[in-house]
Structure 1
Amino acid sequence: MVGQTASTGALKWPAARRAAAQYLLISCSKLCAAAVSLLLEHIGRWSGGEIARSALSLARSAQAERDNESYFSCVQPAFIDL
């Protein structure tokens, strides 16, 4: 009898591990589904105006970052000949 003990007929560890893994997989699947559902619900509450304002804010921040970089990139290194 592979997978069973001779004296009690109870299942050995491999079957118990399989059952635990299956339970864990089902639990993780439910958790992932709940997380995705919550995320989609949150996204669904955003209005078009909120998304547009957020995108505009990100674009302005990126432009300000590029403007700041240009101030530092035009400075030439100075070498002093002693």
Structure 2
Amino acid sequence: MGREHCRLREDAWPTLFSTQNTVVHVMLQAAETGIAATGPDDPAHERLSRMRDFYQFLLAELPGLLQRWQQLPASRS
């Protein structure tokens, strides 16, 4: 069985992760849309609010997380 090779940039994973925030933004917008469509007494409203809060938290934490990753020694394997 043959091997397949691919070449990635040195910073491929953090770069990919930071540019894939589109999915997070889409989920955040979906939560906002759902919140607007439900009343405060609806159980879905609470779940969607927690979903929104999670994605807002994730977006706020990502820059620091990626910065900490970049500060780790290169020999982390």
Q: TM-score, normalised by structure 2?
A: 0.37
Which has the bigger relative contact order, CA under 8 A and spacing at least 6? 2
TM-score, normalised via structure 1 length: 0.35
- Structure with max Cα Rg: 1
